[in-house]
Structure 1
Amino acid sequence: MDIPLFRPSMDRRAFLTASTMGLASLRFGSGLRASTGPGAAAPTLAKPAKSTVLFFLCGGASHIDMWDMKPEAPLEYRGEFKPMRTTGEDIRLCEHLPLLAKQAHNFALVHGVTDGGRATGDHHAGYYYNLTGHAPDPTFKQQGNDRRPYPEDWPYMGSVVGMKRPQHPTLPQIISLPHKPSKLPFTRPGQFAGRIGMEYDPFYLNGSFDEPLKFSAPTISMSGSMSAARMQDRHALLSAMNQARRDLDHEAAVQNYVKQQERAFELLSSGSTTSAFDIKAEPEKLRERYGHTINGTSLLMARRLVEAGVPFVTVFWKEDESTAAQCKSAGGWDTHGDNFNCLRKYLLPQFDQAFSAFMEDMSARGLLDETLVLVTSEMGRMPKVGDRRSGGTLGAGRDHWTACMSVLMAGAGIRGGQVIGETDARAELPKDRPIYPEDITKTVYYAMGIQDLEAKDKLGRAYNLLDEGKPLTDLFG
């Protein structure tokens, strides 16, 4: 016999107490909503993209070892790798990216992306700046990597896109996979909706190294004991919460929570959800092309979600902890130690296979023209080899470097094969044209046709979601 989730005889005071306790540990946005006013118009494409896929290389990918190589620089800067020609007229890539080199005519590179000294050199600040387009506030300097996501943070660019674009009929507006960076308690700021409200937070799909074809969505998963009949009880519970919330102090917070849970029920009952998340339906040959890795299958899932019409998909590179000791990192692109072997053996081959397959697949299906693709990271790597924290020159690592990094952009009318921006002879600083994370974020909004960046706070006061930055319109056409 099923036990109901709440007693029909539960009195109102007891229910309020129970529901409030259940919500007390959650952080909520301030309940800001999209403006219905005109806002400040920004330039936009004549034919905006339908979706964006952001591939984030967690840890800080080495620009000088991947795609902003300096073969004429001294050895202690240029390192061990050699550049190779590609199908893109202006693009040279690392010799360990041969598959991606064949796709260079489909993407552009932006060099000289810099924080302008406004970040801190920590991962948290790098995530925040590159995911929101907003320079980190003083709390990042005060707390470093202990800085938690706050309800009043500026929103993730994906959350802004999700808020401003028409609602998908069955799927979430913003999906992130295969994990939520980083491990508790060090959750990275910048990947959430922040001040525009929890209802615009991404839905997360979790993946694992052991079962790369299996993704789970904790937000929408039913527990083993949850039957369809008991789901109706949960609907009743939500209805009761909705009735009771007017007596709570934090009505907006509860409203956001209820909206998210109602969305979860919609997803559970939708056949299109199951179809979109069923990566095993893809042909084995195609899965092999992407690679049987969690990062490879995550990109394949991203392509499926684009086909299903999800406006914003984020793939956060999942770090392999088995390499952490060798690379003096968490197992991702944070190569403090043995930089060249870690890139050559682990990171570059997996990235080359998976991302080249994604570009090839998207192009072949005609999806690239209507999808913006963005590859970025929280920072670059120090051009001079020898991180003092991991043995100096003997440790052969590269430290954090926020003064300079590179971003890859493709699709949505971007002219492939070109390079925008340039760095100095040692890839340490922008040469003539510094480009900032807010410019990259504004380019995403430009490509997605988002002109109105106005929002309103809970008192109805209008503000702009991103005042700074200009879109890199010269990438297009």
Structure 2
Amino acid sequence: MQRRQFLVASGLGFAGMRFGTPTTAAPQTTAPPAKKSAKSTILFFLCGGASHLDMWDLKPNAPSDYRGPFQPIQTSAPGVRLSEHLPMLAKQAHHLALVNSVGATVNTNDHHAGYYHNLTGHIPDQSFVTKGNNRTPQPDDWPFMGSVVAERRPAHKSLPNAITLPHMPSRAPYTRPGQFAAKLGVEHDPMYIQGTREEPLKLRGPALSLQGNISPDRLTERRSLLNQLDSARRDFDDFAEIATMNKQQERAFSLLLSSESTSAFDLHEESPATIERYGKTINGMSLLAARRLVEAGVPFVTVFWKGDLNRLGKKCKSAGSWDTHGSNFECLKEDLLPEFDRAYSALIEDLATRGMLDETLVMVTSEMGRKPKIGDPRSGGKTGAGRDHWTHCLTDVLAGGGIKGGQTYGASDRYGEYPLKSPVTPADITHTVYHAMGIHDLIAYDKLDRPYFLLEDSQPLTALF
């Protein structure tokens, strides 16, 4: 097979090289994860900025121009209240921990900075202010939390340690920063699996099957030839880029020679009842695939909510996701919340039924919350019934992985504008993920062998466990 095909199979290729530079991995001085540590994490990221006020942290006693029409309902956990439009999830609330006091250092109040802060745990630098949506991913960015987990866990025998589906947000050239390994090294970038709303059961990986007349035996023969050619350039192996290419080739061979690589993504192996429970949507099927991937032992799986621009773009004054600048309550009630409620509750229920929830951390977050005061000037003000961006406060939801369910941690003020009780930061949340996964050594080394800390000025929320 051609070298280009090997790189495509890795899910990275030369295009990925711009997102990071190869580095020397930190020595693994820590012991293997403790028995009670989570084996995998599923990160469900609600692209666009989900309204904390209309899902998790409702304010029924606030003035009408803040609270909106939705009412909180009782759940399976005493004292935990969810939106009335999350009835299926309400039955699973005894598994959930709601962190209602996630605040942020706000410097742009936009999507790029929100992605970066909540995916890496690091405060966006000044370039996010000056460049806005033109601030593309950079090689010296802080790494995505999933890449840190991938680098710290032993390599999976046939699949990458970090997999992202069903898309890479957002459309080029406006790719969101924070979702790549960056300074940790491109070899730890997630592999991206693509899916469409039109064919939700067909999740497509990069060349996960052999093509044409290439059999496993013939591929193995070509691998032997490639190894001989590589030996001729061994004097160049001190260059980090060459070493990384070798790692990518090994990754490609592993994917192509393993039946597990294709079966993990074959949703047709699931029963019709299971597919129906998750909902036959691209987001529902992505969560079902995530369950299959953690079942196969993948340490970190990310599902980025895939929006529907054609159907919701005009209605919600957005790109069709959770960025509800207009008609916030109609978009949530009629479109976003029903799909989310079915898919996410199915994942929690499915993991619990299979005895996998204790060893699988499931996290729901977004790049921001929504502005508590109703009425975005860009969509008609109060009559447009939208909610603008709001990075000052949001809710993160954690379940499984040793987390004690049926609890609410922290609180926002009476309007839901700012954290009031037990304030935390995205860095604390990221640190909590590492803690759940048994990752306590957060020292890495750059390509000059200089140490640096992957995450500072934070503490894991140990009270949740």
TM-score when normalising by structure 2 = 0.92
Counting aligned pairs with the same residue, the percent is: 57
Instruction: Tell me if 1:403 matches 2:392.
Output: yes
Which of 305, 330, 333 is the matching residue for 2:319?
330
Instruction: Write the deviation string for residues 285-304 of structure 1: whole angstroms up to 9, x where unpaired.
Output: 11001001000011111111
Unmatched 5+ stretches in structure 1: 7-21
Instruction: Tell me if 1:426 matches 2:415.
Output: yes
Which of 118, 122, 126 is the matching residue for 1:130?
118
Separation in structure 1 between the aligned mates of residue 224 and residue 326 of structure 2, nearest angstrom:
52
Contact 1:29-1:253 within 8 A present in 2 as well: no
| Residue identity opposite 1:366 in structure 2 | G
Instruction: Write the deviation string for residues 164-199 of structure 1: whole angstroms up to 9, x where unpaired.
Output: 111111211001111111111111111110011111
Separation in structure 1 between the aligned mates of residue 252 and residue 324 of structure 2, nearest angstrom:
38
Instruction: Tell me if 1:302 matches 2:293.
Output: no
Which of 249, 255, 261 is the matching residue for 1:273?
261
Separation in structure 2 between the aligned mates of residue 142 and residue 414 of structure 1, nearest angstrom:
39
Instruction: Tell me if 1:162 matches 2:150.
Output: yes
Separation in structure 2 between the aligned mates of residue 87 and residue 369 of structure 1, nearest angstrom:
18
Contact 2:208-2:261 within 8 A present in 1 as well: no
Separation in structure 2 between the aligned mates of residue 155 and residue 53 of structure 1, nearest angstrom:
17
Q: 1:23 to 1:439 in 2, by over 3 A?
A: closer
Contact 1:242-1:255 within 8 A present in 2 as well: no
Between the two proteins, the alignment pairs up a number of residues equal to 453
Separation in structure 2 between the aligned mates of residue 211 and residue 235 of structure 1, nearest angstrom:
38
Separation in structure 1 between the aligned mates of residue 74 and residue 93 of structure 2, nearest angstrom:
10
Counterpart position of 1:357: 346
After superposition, where does 1:22-61 map in structure 2 within 5 Å? 23=14, 26-27=17-18, 29-36=20-27, 38=29, 47-61=36-50
Q: 1:303 to 1:5 in 2, by over 3 A?
A: closer
Contact 2:128-2:135 within 8 A present in 1 as well: yes
C-alpha deviation, 1:232, in angstroms: 5.5
After superposition, where does 1:137-156 map in structure 2 within 5 Å? 137-156=125-144
C-alpha deviation, 1:257, in angstroms: 3.1
Unmatched 5+ stretches in structure 2: 4-12
What SS does structure 2 have at the residue aligned with 1:305? helix
Separation in structure 2 between the aligned mates of residue 147 and residue 187 of structure 1, nearest angstrom:
9
What SS does structure 1 have at the residue aligned with 2:336? helix
Contact 1:28-1:253 within 8 A present in 2 as well: no
C-alpha deviation, 1:321, in angstroms: 1.1
Separation in structure 2 between the aligned mates of residue 394 and residue 51 of structure 1, nearest angstrom:
44
Separation in structure 1 between the aligned mates of residue 345 and residue 399 of structure 2, nearest angstrom:
12
What SS does structure 2 have at the residue aligned with 1:33? coil
C-alpha deviation, 1:414, in angstroms: 1.1
Separation in structure 1 between the aligned mates of residue 386 and residue 231 of structure 2, nearest angstrom:
54
What SS does structure 1 have at the residue aligned with 2:398? strand
| Residue identity opposite 1:442 in structure 2 | H
Contact 2:150-2:300 within 8 A present in 1 as well: yes
Q: 1:79 to 1:142 in 2, by over 3 A?
A: same
What SS does structure 2 have at the residue aligned with 1:27? helix
Contact 2:134-2:174 within 8 A present in 1 as well: yes
C-alpha deviation, 1:244, in angstroms: 4.3
What SS does structure 2 have at the residue aligned with 1:389? helix
| Residue identity opposite 2:244 in structure 1 | N
What SS does structure 1 have at the residue aligned with 2:156? coil
How much is the aligned-residue C-alpha RMSD, in angstroms?
2.3
Counterpart position of 2:458: 469
**Larger displacement relative to structure 2 (341-350 or 272-281):** 272-281
Which of 191, 195, 220 is the matching residue for 2:179?
191
What SS does structure 2 have at the residue aligned with 1:168? coil
| Residue identity opposite 2:203 in structure 1 | F
Which of 62, 74, 81 is the matching residue for 1:85?
74
Contact 1:104-1:417 within 8 A present in 2 as well: yes
Separation in structure 2 between the aligned mates of residue 346 and residue 232 of structure 1, nearest angstrom:
52
C-alpha deviation, 1:272, in angstroms: 1.6
Q: 1:243 to 1:293 in 2, by over 3 A?
A: farther
Q: 1:247 to 1:260 in 2, by over 3 A?
A: closer
**Larger displacement relative to structure 2 (177-186 or 235-244):** 235-244
Contact 2:16-2:186 within 8 A present in 1 as well: no
Which of 381, 385, 400 is the matching residue for 1:392?
381
Separation in structure 2 between the aligned mates of residue 359 and residue 379 of structure 1, nearest angstrom:
23
Which of 128, 145, 159 is the matching residue for 1:171?
159
Contact 2:28-2:152 within 8 A present in 1 as well: no
Contact 1:220-1:268 within 8 A present in 2 as well: yes
Contact 1:30-1:457 within 8 A present in 2 as well: no
What SS does structure 2 have at the residue aligned with 1:340? helix
What SS does structure 2 have at the residue aligned with 1:445? helix
Counterpart position of 2:251: 263
| Residue identity opposite 1:92 in structure 2 | R
Q: 1:45 to 1:380 in 2, by over 3 A?
A: farther
Contact 1:77-1:384 within 8 A present in 2 as well: yes
Q: 1:35 to 1:321 in 2, by over 3 A?
A: same
Separation in structure 2 between the aligned mates of residue 25 and residue 196 of structure 1, nearest angstrom:
13
Instruction: Write the deviation string for residues 64-96 of structure 1: whole angstroms up to 9, x where unpaired.
Output: 000100000011100111111111122111110
